[in-house]
Amino acid sequence: MASATQREGAQSVLPVGMDGGPTIEAGNRVVTGSLGALNDAVTINAQGAGSILVWLPTGLTGNVVCEGTIDGATWGGLNFQSATDVVSTTLVNPANVFTQVLQGGSFSQVRVRCSAYTSGSCLARLEASAAATIIRLPGSATFSAQIQGNAAHDAADSGNPVKIGGKANANESAAVAENDRVDAWFDLVRRLVVIDGHPSPEAPATANGSAAGLSVIATPGAAVRLYIKKVVITNRAAAGQIISLREGAAGTIRTTVFAPALGAAISLDYGSRGWQLPLDTALVADIAAASADVNVAEYYIAA
């Protein structure tokens, strides 16, 4: 069985800082040793440890397991837990594996052991910390760890939200596919860019009141609603007109106005969120008397 080297005094009781947390640099126990043959093992004193981290660089072709003991004679299997919460009992051909031992602090000693060997070797590193989760990373120029979301910009969305992140850009970015997760848009001084309204508004619709019950905007289609933002009504006839806006041909009337004669104009503003019609419902204008001199124009979103 291969011998293990350790930092001087590393197997002593873990020191604890005044705030109850671990002394990260000097206090953690660290043990390194080679795994290069069947049943080679690297063992660490686990007493008082809140967590035990394992670092296995490249080089070994074989299986590695983790085991714990209370009496120093009888060993039982433990589980590894990766940074992405994947739990496993065996690491097959580990290559730059950075993982944690579950419930390692419940034992007097914990070890990693080569349970199946094919070729090669690796210098295993174990670190015991009083903290519930080890936060200091192994000193390796080729190793790095990042805290990040589980889906990249412009990738299909998955998992649960982690953060709001963004990219600074003086101009709009290229469009992405629907339902992709995206970065927020910030300007060059880190202010979040928010543009009022829908990014793809419909072109304004207009219709002359040649008949009562005029359909101003047709039904938008299944599972789509109309959001009316603004309506402008003009009447150039010699007589005034009463105009009612309703949801569908026989639906609820939501707005009724009187348009004076001879070129009067009325503007209706339904606010930033708009007037939401029921699904697949047309916007209809009821005009008291049919007249080609009444014009109804709308600014709207279909979504």
Q: What is the pLDDT of residues 217-245, one digit of tens each?
A: 889 888 888 989 899 988 888 888 888 89
The pLDDT of residue 282 is 92
Which pLDDT does position 55 carry in this prediction? 92
Domain annotation covers residue 148: no
Q: Residue 94 above 60 pLDDT?
A: yes
CB-based contact 226:254 (threshold 8 Å)? no
CATH number at residue 71: 2.60.120
Pair 104, 217 in one domain? no
Look at residue 129 in the predicted model and tell me its pLDDT: 81
Residue 38 forms part of a structural domain? yes
Tokens of 10: 């590393």
Q: Using CB atoms within 10 Å of the CB of residue 144, give its burial: 0 to 12 exposed, 13 to 18 middle, 19+ buried.
A: exposed
Domain boundary among 95, 129, 163: 129
Q: Looking at residue 289, what is its pLDDT? A: 77
Amino acid sitting at position 257: V
Give domain status of residue 186, yes or no.
no
* pLDDT tens digits for range 104-158: 667 889 999 999 999 999 999 999 887 665 444 444 444 445 566 677 777 777 7
Q: What is the pLDDT of residue 32?
A: 93
Residue 92 is assigned to a structural domain of this protein: yes
Domain count, the chain: 2
Contact 165, 189 (CB under 8 A): no
Cβ proximity of 47 and 66 under 8 Å: no
Shared-domain flag, residues 113 and 215? no
Q: How far is CA 15 from the centre of its chain?
A: 38
Q: Where among 112, 129, 146 does a domain terminate?
A: 129
Is residue 266 assigned to a domain? yes
Let me know if residue 151 belongs to a domain: no
Tokens representing residue 133 in the block: 């989760």
Residue 259 has pLDDT above 50, yes or no: yes
Q: What is the mean pLDDT of the chain?
A: 79
CB 246 within 8 A of CB 223: no
Using one digit for the tens of pLDDT, what is the confidence trace for 2-30?
A: 444 433 333 444 433 333 333 333 458 89
Greatest pairwise CA separation for the chain in angstroms:
106
Domain boundary among 129, 152, 170: 129
For the segment 182-209, what is each residue's pLDDT rounded down to a tens digit?
888 888 887 888 766 666 677 777 777 6
Residue 105 or residue 275, greater confidence? 275
Distances 81 to 47, 58, 116 between C-alpha atoms, Å: 20, 19, 20
Domain extent, residue 67, equals: 4-129
Average pLDDT over residues 247-272: 89
Burial class (CB in 10 A: 0-12, 13-18, 19+), 292: exposed
Spatial separation of the C-alpha atoms in residues 12 and 6, rounded to whole Å:
11
